Chains A and B, each alone.
Chain A
Amino acid sequence: MTPVKMHTRALNLFYGEVHALKGVDLDMPEQCVTALIGPSGCGKSTFLKTLNRMNDTIASVRISGEVVLDGEDIYAKNVDVTTLRKKAGMVFQSPNPFPMSIYDNIAYGPRIHGEKKRIVLDEIVEQSLRDAAIWDEVKDRLKKPALGLSGGQQQRLCIARSLATKPEVLLMDEPTSALDPISTSKIEELIDELKRDYSIVIVTHNMQQAARISDYTAFFLLGEVVEHNTTGDVFSNPKDRRTEDYITGRFG
């Protein structure tokens, strides 16, 4: 088994009185794609957000347990959230480029982390766009507004924007749910390429997608991990009846 990049132990999360995550133990191996599946409201997106502390902004959230990245508890007192988010970048459900140029979108992250040199930024922008397989489509209009791109291009731009901070973990929250099939398949190809260099955790509602692109699959239900195994096992011989019912579309 590949080394574990991130793991959680006894992770509990409350939204006010609502117990949204119930003692989640999950290992996310290095340079692998871990897919989180489950019906809406099962806690998979909430779980993903705890992995780079995006729940911090919500006042009513309380968290207990451990979330460990490279051996360090990310909820420890002395953690610098900015550095954490540089290490674990996030791609959201609907493409959310900022209302600025393509170039500035990509340079946004590096600039947060203090990169000012034009030559360095130029290089990061090109490399990130290349890695996100969108360089050829945008190289002649880097100064044009990012909002002028198509939905699929915008999402690849957002992936490039995340790559620009040179993360180690990529957290993706249903990155293709707002996209057409062609754009979806381009992003899937991209994820397949990216897992060579990054550890990826992806939330998806598309069973085939989980089966296609992930190495490990975790099935969430009512805030608990019902089943976690290699994707091959989960989709051929799920151990739990509820997993089988979900992946065969009988509930959820």
Chain B
Amino acid sequence: MNNTNHGSITQKRRRPSEILLYGLIFLLAAFLAALVVFIIGYILAKGLPAISVQFLTTAENPIEETVGIFPSIVNTLYIVFFALIICVPLGVGGAIYLSEYAKNKKIVGAIQFASETLAGIPSILYGIFGFVFFCVLLNLHVSLLAGVLTLTIMVLPIMMRTTQEALRAVPKSYRDGALGLGATKWYLIRTILLPCSLKGILTGVILSVGRMVSESAALLLVAGGSAMYMPRGSVWEQLSHSGSTLSVELYRYAMSRGDNSTAFGIASVLIIIVALLNLLTRFVAWRLNKR
């Protein structure tokens, strides 16, 4: 017989600190969930009544006094689409270079530090920079294209960051296995590293989309603040015109006009668009993974 007495294992002991902590964590989680449900519910409850076919498919008409946000929806999608087309290859390529090719550790460190700093600065600074550099210096004027380029610079650090982390998460054994079979670096990247970090890259895309869709301050400066006309002409023509995105419109309606019901309508549309874009990204990830 053992002389230390641990008691029977079937006697359940109470540990007050455990119970307390568990309760606290549960409360916090419940609070967060409730908050999210409340905000989304509140916005949708106030915004959905404003949404109608006309609201979604026409431009604002001051003469007939009808409200429509179709141009803004199109502008938003344009900006997101073209900014992604530029920043995904750039960000992924940059991340691959930094984590797989760059030999000089100091330069890599400096670039990383710079991109982390860029990720943290307020977006209005990008706006000022974009205005001076793209609109004035490169003579692009206040246009969607200037908006696309400004947003590209803004989300590039996010893309690079998430891609680098995803690359780093690929098990070393995969690299060893591929190199051991004679794979060249590019072959390794193409067949192992990129497919394995696809999820991480898509996370970056989702984060970037979120950042772009929600951006208003910078775009107000570089892409303009109104969307009165229905889109027309070629893609290029539209890109070279100014135009506001949904967030900018939202700001305008809420702040300059005090039209809260339209603002909530736009907010609801934004929430729905972001949700749809997320679903689309997941669907793409799922399809690519299956392949």
List A residues at the B interface (Cβ < 8 Å): 52, 54, 57, 59, 81-86, 89-90, 92, 94, 96-100, 108-109, 112-113, 158, 161-162, 165
* Residues of the A chain whose Cβ atoms lie less than 8 Å from the Cβ of B62: none
Q: Tell me, yes or no, whether B183 is within 8 Å of chain A by CB.
A: yes
B176 within 8 A of A: yes
Asked if residues B187 and A85 are in contact (CB atoms below 8 Å), the reply is no
Contacts of B184 in A (CB 8 A): 82, 112
Bound-complex Cα distance A82 to B186 (A): 12
A108 and B173 contact, CB distance less than 8 A:
no
For the complex with contacts A89-B181, A99-B174, A158-B177, 4 further pairs of A-B residues with Cβ separation under 8 Å are: A82-B184, A85-B181, A90-B180, A97-B177
Which residues between 151 and 195 of chain B lie within 8 Å of chain A, taking CB atoms? 171, 173-184, 187, 191-192, 195
Report A246 CB to chain B, min CB distance, Å: 28
B124 within 8 A of A: no
Q: Is the CB–CB distance between A98 and B182 below 8 Å?
A: no
Contact between B179 and A96, CB atoms less than 8 A apart: no
Is there an interface contact between B181 and A96, defined as CB atoms closer than 8 Å? no
- Cβ contact within 8 Å between A85 and B196: no
**Contact B180 A85, beta carbon cutoff 8 Å:** yes
Do A99 and B180 touch (CB < 8 A)?
no
In whole Å, how far is B178's beta carbon from the nearest beta carbon of chain A?
7
Known: A108-B191, A112-B187. A81 touches B176 (CB 8 A): no
Bound-state CA distance A83–B179 (Å) is: 11
Q: Does the CB pair A86–B192 fall under 8 Å?
A: no
B residues contacting A by CB (< 8 A) are: 103, 171, 173-184, 187, 191-192, 195-196
- Which residue of A85, A100, A113 is within 8 Å of B179 (Cβ)? A85
Nearest-Cβ distance from residue A99 to partner chain B, whole angstroms: 6
In the bound complex, residues from chain B placing their C-beta under 8 Å from that of A113 are: 182
Residue of B nearest to A104 (CB): B191
A100–B194 Cα gap in the complex (Å)?
13
Are A96's CB and B182's CB within 8 A?
Answer: no
Instruction: Name the contact of B177 in the complex, choosing from A52, A82, A98 (C-beta under 8 A).
Output: A98
Q: How far is the CA of A162 from the CA of B182 in the complex (A)?
A: 10
Q: How far is the CB of B43 from chain A (nearest CB, A)?
A: 40
**How far is B182's CA from A86's CA once the two chains are assembled, in angstroms?**
6
Query: When the two chains form their complex, are residues A82 and B182 in contact, meaning their CB atoms are under 8 A apart?
Result: yes
Instruction: Decide: A98 and B178 in contact? CB cutoff 8 A.
Output: yes
Which residues of chain B are near A108, meaning CB under 8 Å? 178, 181, 183, 191
- Residues from chain A with a CB closer than 8 A to the CB of B187 are 112
Question: How far, in whole Å, are A82 and B179 apart by their CA atoms in the complex?
Answer: 8
Q: Which of B178, B182, B191, B195 has the most CB of A within 10 A?
A: B182
Do B181 and A92 touch (CB < 8 A)? Answer: no
Residues in chain B near residue A158, CB distance under 8 A: 177
Q: Which of B103, B176, B183, B191 contacts A54 (CB 8 A)?
A: B176
Q: Is the CB of A162 within 8 A of B173?
A: no
CB neighbours (8 Å) of B196 from chain A are 99
Bound Cα distance from A100 to B178, whole angstroms: 13
Q: Indicate if the CB atoms of A96 and B183 lie closer than 8 Å.
A: no
- List, in ascending order, chain B residues with CB within 8 A of A109's CB: 181-182
